[in-house]
Amino acid sequence: MTFMEILKQNYRKISQNIINAAFRSGRNPADIRLLAVSKTVDIETVAQAYQLGIKDFGENRAQQFVEKQQSLPEARWHFIGHLQTNKIKDVLGKTFLIHSLDRWRLAEEINKAGQAMDQITEVLLQVNISGEEQKYGLAPELVQSFLADSEELKMIKIKGFMTMAPLDAAPEEVRSIFKEMRAIRQSMLKQDFKHCDLEYLSMGMSQDYEIAVEEGANIIRIGSSLFNA
């Protein structure tokens, strides 16, 4: 099989799994967006995936983000990694969504850079539900005040939440993490903040996207199970 055929087969299988998981949980599969995490593949492979109909791609390093975004600007490019403040200006204006707003300082700096460029940036708040020390993200109990305080940052629009389960977590632990993320979103929606619409729930990777779909994810971030031969 050519790589294109393998890619097509992987994409079909993942799409079918998303449909099945959506039906199991009474959801519309069309509400779930597959984001292809292209950090391990080259731009030719990204172009092949785009041809198959995948329109959303994610990168976790600023330099690779910029290179790939420039070579396929018609795709929607998501930034999904820890973003250093000195890299903000490189990616600003090129992101469909930054999934990894993980600290107040970063929000302030994106806002400031946005003012200079007259650019509103749409972001997701990354939440560290599991409390793993080596993980970035906001503690769940800080989410509400972060959202409230973000009203002053006019060049940032918080569009929802992103979380990750620990790689070695058992399925039931993964599920409880995703459930908690969803519950936080529900409770923040009730606050009815006017400055953020909290539309997106970005959770689930190759290992756990079916659980994530069952628990309400509307963006899933898939790398290895799509691109690995």
Residues in contact with ligand PLP by the rule CB under 6 A: 37, 39, 60, 80-81, 205-207, 221-225
Closest-approach residue to ligand PLP (CB): 223
Q: CA–CA separation, 204 vs 108, rounded Å?
A: 28
Cβ distance to ligand PLP smaller for residue 176 or 207 = 207
Cβ distance to ligand PLP smaller for residue 10 or 60 = 60
- In angstroms, give the least distance from the CB of 81 to ligand PLP: 6
Torsion of CA 57, 61, 63, 69, to 10 degrees: 10
Task: List the alpha helices (DSSP H) in the chain.
Answer: 3-24, 43-51, 62-71, 88-91, 104-117, 143-149, 171-191, 209-214, 224-227
Cβ distance to ligand PLP smaller for residue 37 or 201 = 37
- In angstroms, give the least distance from the CB of 70 to ligand PLP: 21
- In angstroms, give the least distance from the CB of 185 to ligand PLP: 18
Cβ distance to ligand PLP smaller for residue 114 or 223 = 223
- In angstroms, give the least distance from the CB of 146 to ligand PLP: 19
Strand-pairing partners, residue 37, are 58
State the amino acid at position 37 in one-letter form.
V
Q: Which CA distances in Å does 42 have to 13, 58, 134?
A: 22, 13, 28
